[in-house]
Structures are given as structure tokens and as C-alpha cells.
Amino acid sequence: MKRETTKLRLKKMLEDDKEEINDATRAAVLADFTHIAKEYFDTENVNLNLKKGKSGTDVTVSFKATRVKNFASLR
């Protein structure tokens, strides 16, 4: 029984190591990008997509903006 548990734990560790991004990291990244997007836009449905490429990972952040928050310059 202990051998099987150890085998499953090792398998899980190896799978996690190969993962592009784990759930905790994905949630943190999405929260950060959502915060940044809300500085400039009124947003809905912020999404994060990752696609493994040949020389790295392509990262796409997308959302629907219902309003752009333009800056007013002070003179």
C-alpha cells in the first residue's frame, strides 16, 4: 500500500513539473492582469490563454472593455 502511495505521489510530482502553469500561479497571474486592465478599462470576462511554442510560451490576455478610462492632462 505504501509503495503504491509513493508511486502515485512521484507520478503527480513529475506531472506537475511538466505543467506549463499550475492552478495557483494561473489564478495569481489572472488576478494581476485583471487589476491592471481595470486601471485602464471597465472590463468583463478577463481570460488568460497559454500555448506552448517552439521557443517559449505564447501568452494571450483578453477581455471585453465596456469603457476606456482616458486620462486628462493637467496644465
In tens, the pLDDT along 61-71 reads: 999 999 999 98
Q: Side-chain half-sphere of 68: how many Cα atoms within 13 Å?
A: 3
Cell of 73: 492632462
Residue 38 has pLDDT above 90, yes or no: yes
Which spans in the chain are helix H?
2-18, 23-40
Task: Note the pLDDT of residue 17.
Answer: 62
Residue predicted with more confidence, 46 or 72? 46
User: What are the domain boundaries of the chain?
Assistant: 2-68
Interatomic CA distance for residues 37 and 59, integer angstroms: 15
**Host H or E run for residue 44:** strand 41-52
Q: Side-chain half-sphere of 2: how many Cα atoms within 13 Å?
A: 0
